[in-house]
Amino acid sequence: MPTSSRFFSRQGILPRVVFLLGCGFVAIGSLSAEGQESVLAQGPQKAAAADDDARAMRDALDAATRSYVEATNGRRFEALGDQWTEGAELSEGGGMIVGREAIVASIRDWLEANPEARIAIRLTGVKALGASAARVRGVMSFTRKPGAKPIETRFESLRVLEGATWRLAESTVEPSQVDALEALAWMVGTWRATDPDSGATVDASYQRVAGGHLILGGIRHRAPARDGLPATEIDVVELIHPDKATGSVRSWVFDSTGARAEGVFETDGTSFNRRFVGTTADGAAGDVARWVQVIVPTGDSTCTMQSIERTLDGKPLPDKSPLHFKRQ
């Protein structure tokens, strides 16, 4: 098969192409000095315009971030709502909140539960996704009270331009491994409650161990003899640890009957749900138990815990009555 150059040569085309290219080169080379300067100047001009656009976007996103902080710290919830799109999504602590109203309601509840709390935000990166969308990364720190140790969380958000306003369309908050436990730091201490169903006294004690990376809990459940049943005493060991890969907080529970369970914390900023799945005690009628433990701090020295959505081998069980704990 002939090569393309031999083919073109035989047809008498190659010399003409070379000649035409040569003419073209001469024509380009004959541009005036002013024309050459105009062509060469287009590159720097475009680069300068792109830089200006990037700076303008960053300035606008910085301003939107400052407005978010001011609205939060000033408890201006209408202005805070204007920071989010109508269908925004907030992923935090293993849970997701969808919709502007639900997100603002969650933030409002947290601020009302922590009336002295303040936040600060520092952007660490911006990636433009066009003229009207950008990914932003940063660090948010908050304190529950003046002088308290700041708790830092990292976040990545999608900001979109709606009209003249840069709003949050989605945001994922990922606390650091140690700081992930700060949301549960209020649990540290000694607590007591009375179980209204059995009359049992429940004593619980929690402490930070392993350099602050772990919360270790010890619980003793003492039930008196009742309705022909003997008195019982059950000891429970609980481990609470953050998952570095996901930022979620996990929990493991073992008790003196041989039962064990594993759970994952979810939070909306004011209350905590711990979804458990576990195996029952030796000799129990069933094998696999599932339930949700709802934990609600109700003040500096009180909290409520309740087990709901209980099942045993897939069969529903009634909810337990709430336990009202007081700090000792």
Chain segment 252-263, per-residue pLDDT in tens: 999 999 999 999
Of 19-23, 154-158, 214-218, the one with minimum mean pLDDT is 19-23
Coil, helix or strand at residue 183:
helix
Mean pLDDT value across residues 46-55: 75
Q: Is 142 helix (H, G, I), strand (E, B) or coil?
A: strand
119-157 core/surface letters (b: 16 or more CB in 10 A; e: else): bebebeebeeeeeeebebebebebbbeeeeeebbbbbbb
DSSP bridge pairs for 98: 89
Q: Domain residue spans in the chain?
A: 51-175, 181-327
In this prediction, residue 153 carries a pLDDT of 84
Enter the tokens of residue 200: 């049992």
**Quick one: pLDDT at residue 120?**
95
Q: Which of 125, 132, 126, 124 is nearest to 152 (CA)?
A: 124
Residue with tokens 């929990």: 251
Burial class of 164 by CB neighbour count within 10 A (0 to 12, 13 to 18, 19+): exposed
User: CA-CA distance, 261 to 263, in Å (whole number)?
Assistant: 7
- Sequence-ordered list of residues with C-beta below 8 angstroms from that of 136, at least 6 positions apart, any chain: 61, 65, 123, 125, 126, 127, 156, 157, 158, 159
- pLDDT at position 209 is 93
Give the per-residue pLDDT at 7: 31
What share of the chain in percent tops pLDDT 90?
Answer: 59
Surface-to-core class of residue 249, CB atoms within 10 Å of its CB (0-12 exposed, 13-18 middle, 19+ buried): buried
Structure-block tokens of residue 241: 């640890």
* Averaged confidence pLDDT in the chain: 84
The predicted model scores a pTM of: 0.57
Predicted pLDDT at 27: 38
Maximum CA extent, the chain: 113
**Tokens (6 digits) for 108:** 């409002």
The answer, yes or no, to whether residue 1 has pLDDT greater than 70, is no
Q: Alpha-carbon distance 64 to 80, whole Å?
A: 11
Residue 64, pLDDT score: 96
Q: Decide yes or no: CATH 3.10.450.50 for domain 51-175.
A: yes
- Do 51-175 and 181-327 come out as alike in CATH topology? no
Say which DSSP state 186 is in.
Answer: G
Class of the 181-327 domain?
mainly beta
Model pLDDT, residue 21: 35
Q: Quick check: 302 and 193 in contact, CB under 8 A? A: no
Torsion of the alpha carbons at 179, 183, 188 and 192, rounded to the nearest 10:
-160
pLDDT for res 137: 95
